Structure 1
């Protein structure tokens, strides 16, 4: 999670950044999504996309949590032939078991976006859960266009947060490290989306 001040700064940066032409569409939590195709405003996300396949050293090499990455790959193999609803539930519950660690503690900087091998070595914060869930589902064959990592404001806690949304059976399902169950976004009233992204583009939100 990030502070409200940092969220405001990030949002301001996005609004002032040059972007490609965009289109308006209904989306989530009562907000409209304005679609952009240029990922240049997101260097951390572009770095993740360029490096997410990097793997750690062999399991048993003495490094902290060295075998967690292998266990993750085993999970993917176990879930490949399971029903999609079960995949969503299992991915969310399994990854939520990992410990929440703030970026200043993990990396010594305010904001760092992890690739899977880094998450399993050092754990992470909210966007890191969303990122590893995104790539887990991609490995299971889910379409990138059906998923978005959403950065938002939690109006109850008054902090910034990040989740993964997945289109499934004509619903927007939420995979959230703060919520144990995978639930329909329509059941959530206290989230205000700011922006979202996947590997094909990004979206800026405004109230409907």
Structure 2
């Protein structure tokens, strides 16, 4: 995604993004839920096919779990990131959640950034982790999906993880980040940023929608 305006973002932004005013102190009084980045959030249990890229990720991830990850032989052009991740996850299984989160964030962010056009000859392709690692790179949503599934392996609940499509208002582009709920705090993992961030401290990212395996959320005005 990154610098492009993609079909899925155009679809969702045109159908769902509401140009609503800030609610301020009225948000609680009106019974509205304040969600990620301080924006009003509406939850939906099903997407009815609205997010085909994400649906494709879920389908292919189930298939790869059944068939197994193909063996990797490291060479000058291939890092075998999947094998490295397996060793890494085993080494931190007994660590606390913040240690796991930081370790996975750093591991994924070391992988090169590559556009979907270069990798798949497509403008927008959402890769599962095995595809991301096998290609030795990907773009913003690929980092997010890889972190999402790595944290699932490490014991994070689905309901504590969300893939979040945002608008970066500093540079006027669409972007994707991972939001992780940890002890009631929403921590943002961004492939462009070495540190992790609390969502309430991030003012330049405007959420459009977030999604996981259990549902999705739409965002309106800032609370």
The answer as to whether partners of 1:153 and 1:194 remain within 8 angstroms in 2 is yes
What pairs up with 1:99-110 in 2 under 5 angstroms? 99-110=112-123
4+ runs deviating over 6 angstroms = none
- CA offset at residue 8 of structure 1? 5.4
| Closer/same/farther in 2, CA of residues 81 and 75 from structure 1, 3 Å limit | same
2:154 to 121, 126, 140: 140
CA 1:14–1:48 in structure 2 vs 1: closer, same or farther (change >3 Å)?
A: farther
Normalization by structure 1: what TM-score?
0.89
Question: Quick one: structure 1 residues 24 and 201, their matched pair in 2 at CA, closer, same or farther if it must change by over 3 Å?
Answer: farther
CA radius of gyration, larger in: 2
1:50 to 36, 50, 59: 59
Root-mean-square deviation (CA, aligned residues, Å) is 2.2
Which structure 2 residue ranges, 5 or more long, are not aligned? 18-30
1:8/1:97 CA distance change after superposition, 3 Å? closer
1:35-67 Cα deviation digits (max 9, x unpaired): 111132112111211222524421228795262
Partner of 1:69: 82
Change (3 A) 1:57 1:5: closer
Provide the residue aligned with 2:109 in structure 1: 96
Conserved? CA contact 1:4–1:158, under 8 Å: no
Larger RCO, structures 1/2 (Cα 8 Å, 6+ apart):
2
TM-score of the superposition, structure 2-length normalised? 0.83
Distance 2:71 2:6 in 1: 40
5+ residue gaps, structure 1, are 17-22
Paired residues of 1:24 and 1:35 also in contact (CA < 8 A)? no
**Alpha-carbon shift at residue 15 of structure 1 (Å):** 3.3
Counterpart in 2 of 1:59? 72
> Do the aligned residues in 1 keep the contact of 2:8 with 2:51 (CA within 8 Å)?
no
Structure 2: distance between partners of 1:161 and 1:79: 29
Q: Relative to 1, partners in 2 of residues 1:111 and 1:175: Cα closer, same or farther, differing over 3 Å?
A: same
CA contact under 8 A between 2:6 and 2:124: conserved in structure 1? Answer: no
State the number of aligned residues: 202
2:92 counterpart residue number: 79
